[in-house]
Each structure stands twice: as C-alpha cells, then as structure tokens.
C-alpha cells in the first residue's frame, strides 16, 4: 500500500482528468502534478494511493498510443548524443523532443532498440522486457 495521501481536493483534480477507461494519461499526469502540488516523480505513488493507473506513455513503454514511423535521423541523433548504451532516461528523451516532437521521438524509441529508463512520473526505473508475441 502506498504511503502517499491525497486530500479531497487533490483526489478530485486527479479524478476529473481521467480518460474514458478511468486512467490518467502520461501527459495529463504532468498537468495534474502541477494542479495538486506534487512533483511529477510522485505521481505514480499518488495515483496508486487512490487505485488509479497511469497509461499511454508518450515514449511507448506502456499504454495504447498509436505511433508513426521510426525516424533514422532522430535515432542517429540520440545514438550520437547519448552513446552510453541503449538505456536512455525518460527526461533526456523528452528534452530531445524539443528538437522535433514528442510523438516523433516516441515513435522512434518504440520501433528501436532504445530502452527507456527512469520514468519522470515514477512509473518505472527500468523498462521490463517485451513480451513474446
């Protein structure tokens, strides 16, 4: 059980931002963090405290977002700038998206060998292995 405790106002702000499946999207989780006065890294614990799941990672780690095509230029830029293995922190990828878009970076990451680590919302530190089809 999470030690995180939301007050009534904070709970209401989370609940009014849920999608049709009763989950909080990655993007909205950042917005809600500001609204309820917590750090983004605390959002996973905040949501768990009221049995809400965060979904639709903008980098394709989890959720049901549709992604477009892999972009070689983005991949090569990531590889060139972050050449310390295939593990790249979420925050770094979001910063890289400033040079294009989050959707394009997410599409490239989703279709490549890049492993996203250290979710900014606290959902994961290490990405779990992909399930076999």
Quick one: which H or E segment has residue 55? strand 54-55
Q: Is residue 112 domain-shared with residue 129, that is, in the same domain?
A: yes
In a domain, 1, yes or no: no
Q: Is 53 in contact with 23 (CB distance < 8 Å)?
A: yes
Q: Please write the tens of the pLDDT for every residue from 8-33.
A: 999 999 999 999 999 999 999 999 99
Q: Please write the tens of the pLDDT for every residue from 57-109.
A: 999 999 999 999 999 999 988 888 776 567 899 999 999 999 999 999 999 99
Q: Is 14 in contact with 24 (CB distance < 8 Å)?
A: yes
Quick one: which H or E segment has residue 81? helix 72-81
In a domain, 76, yes or no: yes
How many distinct structural domains can be found in the chain? Answer: 2
Q: Is residue 45 domain-shared with residue 100, that is, in the same domain?
A: no
Q: Is residue 31 domain-shared with residue 72, that is, in the same domain?
A: no
Q: Please write the tens of the pLDDT for every residue from 103-131.
A: 999 999 999 989 999 999 999 988 655 44
In a domain, 112, yes or no: yes
CA atoms of 109 and 30, how far apart (whole Å): 20
Instruction: Tell me which residue range forms the domain holding 132.
Output: 59-133
CA atoms of 57 and 118, how far apart (whole Å): 12
Q: Exposed, middle or buried by CB within 10 Å (0-12, 13-18, 19+), for 53?
A: middle
| pLDDT over 90 at 35, yes or no | yes
Q: How far is CA 11 from CA 37, 94, 113, in A?
A: 12, 27, 37
In a domain, 119, yes or no: yes
């Amino acid at each position: 059980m999470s030690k995180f405790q939301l007050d009534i106002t904070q709970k209401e702000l989370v609940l009014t931002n849920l999608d049709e499946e009763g989950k909080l999207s990655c993007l909205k989780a950042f917005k809600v963090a500001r609204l309820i006065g917590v750090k983004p890294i605390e959002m996973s614990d905040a949501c768990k405290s009221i049995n809400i799941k965060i979904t639709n990672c903008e980098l394709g780690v989890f959720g049901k977002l549709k992604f477009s095509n892999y972009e070689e230029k983005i991949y090569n830029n990531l590889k060139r700038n972050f050449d310390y293995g295939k593990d790249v922190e979420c925050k770094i990828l979001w910063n890289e998206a400033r040079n294009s878009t989050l959707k394009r970076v997410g599409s490239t990451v989703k279709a490549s060998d890049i492993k996203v680590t250290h979710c900014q919302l606290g959902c994961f530190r290490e990405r779990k292995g992909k399930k076999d089809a």
